[in-house]
Amino acid sequence: MSTGISFDIASLRRAYAEGTLTPLQVVEEALRRMDDPKHPHVWIEKIGREQLLALAKALPPKPTPELPLYGVPFAIKDNIDLAGIKTTVGCQAFAFAPEKSATVVAKLIAAGALPIGKTNLDQFATGLVGTRSPFGICQSVFNPKYISGGSSSGSAVAVASGMVTFSLGTDTAGSGRVPAAFNNIVGLKPTKGLLSTCGVFPACRSLDCVSVFAGSCHDAQAVLDVAAGFDAGDAYSRALPKCAPGISTNFKLGILPLAQRKFFGDAEAAELYEQAIAQLRDIGGEAVEFDYTPFAQAAALLYAGPWVAERRWALGDFYEKHGDAMHPVVREIIGNAKKYDAVATFDAQYKLQALAQIVAPVWEKVDVLLLPTAGTTYKISELLADPIKLNSNLGYYTNFVNLLDLSALALPAGFRKSNGLPFGITLIGPAFADNALLQLGARFHQALGGKIGVTSMNINEQPLPVKKSPGILIAVVGAHLSGQPLNHQLTSRRAEFIRQTRTTPCYRLFALANTQPPKPGLKRVAEKLPLGIEVEIWSLDDAAFSSFVAEIPPPLGIGTLELEDGTSVKGFLCEPIGLDGAHDITEFGGWRAFRASLAK
């Protein structure tokens, strides 16, 4: 969809600040795009023009820091409440009119975002396909013969076609990831409970997550920053811990062994997965094979266990009284709930817990898993002919994530040459690794390049802003860097990797004499040098910082370092006496480069 207005958040912010664009103009443009005949069946209900214009007029004349999503248009999956607009969950006979918006929707509107409409979905969020809706079948934005993915079908197409900046979906088994892969956009599946599900009609309440579709990791991060947070009204809500898992610049990348890769006959998808591995290696990943068997076994539990009964619970007596109003495939799936009694429920829970114990050691060997989001894709006609089996194939790499309490980020990863359809990967981390996944995802997406969805907008990934950690930030310069001998002194304290950067160019780096392991010393000088020194920024809580500093031997100590972006942070400096006999290695720009030179 070509237009002179770019809907990415950075472009909107810049245009609003410069006065070249107003929220009223964005509303009019969004309304125009929503009627694009090339992308039908996206919307279940559009917000009326007058109501949208009223929302836009209610915003201040210019953006303010209190409105980080000022004038940003977004879409809402129609199992998430928007006050005054009926929620159908893809079933007209079930529809109800909520009096208030879901917590996440209310937060986004309070931050200045503009809700444009409610999007189509696989009925009752049951499916990964986008074909199980009485409101019509969504299609791939690249080829109308192919599925869009689901259940958050309309939400993904709305972003991929450029109708909105971002959208809300939900993800129980992969519904926030598969449609992202099939439409060449980013899909963030946050840690369970990080985004409130208050005001979200449940599929499996114990597993459900509100997900975010966006054109870039930068935009997904901006939405997450607003939408995340503990909600006392949601029994499954969780607060972000003080020290969330991080991913260093030199990270261990978990990949599938060749024998465990399933692409269901899609040779081009297999090739694109291999290319993604190579691309992540290029930006610092060390590939480590892991056994996918227990993950696959956990995934198989989802639709062959009592979590189907949890879907039946959500419908109350509607299933018995109005089952004929349901989509036949959805009715068949949920009808399987009668197979599971309390004994089967506990049996499945025990199996899942055993599998969780088996996979836990994987995170001691890798920082992040790299999987295909889906092994293949299908034509709509193929899916309609075999709806259960092919849907199951699409969930092979997604179903386990919420069951095992993990975070995930779906990313574009190139196109098949034969049919022009996109392929996607998913980065998977432990619970609460969401910000770290977005940081890594931004690096991958920027290196990939290309367009957002099917639009003319280029991927314009910016360096994600450093998250304000509740802990203490410290810059390390030598043996504590990722992959170096003393890095364990940080990781063992659950320190969070924040980013790699450089000091301002007024520091010299020295290789100290007679230290084991070898260490450098950093000294501030008066002259301005050509380049700053490479450092990593880590965050520790108060107790961890105190014990870490206590281990630092002389002549090293902690002072204040100035970084290239003008900010200051605590970091390693060397006492002058320690530089006696030291070798000036400033020309290398960092400890890693110096150590690499010794190995040549």
CA distance 224 to 190: 9
Which are the contacts of 148, defined by CB distance < 8 A and separation ≥ 6?
130, 138, 139, 140, 141, 156, 157, 179, 182, 183
Q: Is 77 a catalytic residue?
A: yes
Query: Alpha carbon 42 to chain centroid distance?
Result: 23
Which are the contacts of 128, defined by CB distance < 8 A and separation ≥ 6?
122, 149, 150, 151, 173, 174, 175, 178, 374, 391, 394, 395, 398
H/E stretch holding 102: none
Query: Alpha carbon 554 to chain centroid distance?
Result: 42
List the beta bridge partners of residue 189. Answer: 408
SS3 290: coil
Residue matched to tokens 């900046």: 165
Q: Is 151 a catalytic residue?
A: yes
CA distance 284 to 444: 10
CA distance 51 to 582: 70
Of 101, 151, 167, 248, the catalytic one is: 151
CA distance 235 to 462: 36
CA distance 388 to 127: 9
Q: Are 114 and 23 in contact (CB under 8 A)?
A: yes
> Which of these, 409, 297, 413, lies nearest to 358 by C-alpha position?
297
> Which of these, 413, 421, 389, lies nearest to 146 by C-alpha position?
421
For residue 418, report the phi and psi dihedrals to the nearest 5 degrees: -75, -35
Integer CA distances (angstroms), 415 to 150, 184, 324, 364, 451, in order: 20, 9, 40, 33, 12
CA distance 3 to 545: 51
CA distance 63 to 247: 33
> Which of these, 164, 235, 238, 162, lies nearest to 195 by C-alpha position?
238
Which are the contacts of 229, defined by CB distance < 8 A and separation ≥ 6?
107, 196, 239
- For 37, the token pair is 């005949």
Of 175, 211, 248, 539, the catalytic one is: 175
Q: Is 216 a catalytic residue?
A: no
DSSP structure string for 174-233: STTTHHHHHHTSEEEEPPTTTS--TTB--SSTTT-EEEEEESSHHHHHHHHHHH-S--TT
- Using a 10 angstrom Cβ sphere, with 0-12 exposed, 13-18 middle and 19 or more buried, the burial of residue 543 is exposed
Total residue count of the chain as it appears in this document: 600
Catalytic residues: 77, 151, 175
